[in-house]
Amino acid sequence: MIYGSLVALVTPMLPDGKLDFPALRRLVEFHVTEQSDAIVIVGTTGESPTVNTEEHHALIARCVEYAAGRIPVIAGTGANATDEAIALARFAKSAGASATLSVVPYYNKPGQEGIYRHFATIADKTDIGLILYNVPGRTGADMSNETALRLAQLPNVIGLKDATGNIARACDLVEGVRDLADKKEFALYSGDDATALASLFMGFHGVISVTANIAPRMMRKMCAAARAGNLADARELHFRLNGLHRDLFCEANPIPVKWAAQQIGLIEGGIRLPLTPLSVSNQAKVTAALRQAGIQTLAI
């Protein structure tokens, strides 16, 4: 099981939208140096809906290559077509990824039985650990806790990223996972930076974090403090990061976080349509959040 801060990595692009693999190598080195606990490549923060299959494969393979076993790499392999998700998961396995992250099918709005069968089929037809990803605000479909815990009983299903931001639901998930403890390990990851600390104190194992793109060492320290029961240090770090937790979502993710990463010299400013660069009116918000966290920008 992977504990702590798992960065939901942005996909670096050149101003013309082409993938920037030299920058990806630098990002991997940055997260190794800053001690992120794992990298999630080509998740939804990585603009997975806008890359084609060849690019998706290349991002997974290059990230695994650049990581060189120094940090676990979890491959985003979600799709709203079950066969496509299976194919991506099989590629991730062949490329050497540690596990996969697969989002609830979006747009087609399956019911609970459809969600269950989608993930159960992926788990049955692949040979790599599968982390479920529930983000109803983006997909239009909400996987219930009951469905998630039903899936958790399958051998290949190893975790859940819950991005509902609902602490009551988080508590129920922790209780449900405790009931599984004598059968298997099952990881719970927050997918909502603003409520991640509360989820960790409730018993979650980590966070798959957007903020960790910008402040990886602080996110890792916050997670470690929470897991150690060190309330004072965890709260102090949370409040330093709180502006980022809030304002990296002032526009659709990953627009603000890619702009922030550019401001601190990690990547260039490329982003793909239908997403557009961060509006001038929101740039001051993100700059203020960076300063609150004590992060130096190129403009300062």
Which residues are marked as active site? Answer: 133, 161
Name the E strands within 67-129: 73-76, 99-103
The rounded distance, in Å, linking the Cα atoms of 84 and 175 is 33
Q: Which residues contact 190 (CB under 8 A, 6 or more apart)?
A: 161, 162, 163, 170, 196, 199, 200, 204, 206, 207, 208
The rounded distance, in Å, linking the Cα atoms of 167 and 159 is 18
Q: Which residues contact 52 (CB under 8 A, 6 or more apart)?
A: none
How many residues in total does the chain contain?
A: 300
The rounded distance, in Å, linking the Cα atoms of 164 and 191 is 7
Q: Are 270 and 22 in contact (CB under 8 A)?
A: no
The rounded distance, in Å, linking the Cα atoms of 113 and 129 is 21
Closest CA to 234 of 155, 36, 242: 242
Rg (CA), the chain: 18
Name the E strands within 57-211: 73-76, 99-103, 130-134, 157-162, 187-190, 206-209
Residue type for 34, please?
Answer: E
- CA torsion 209→150→227→46, rounded to 10°? -10
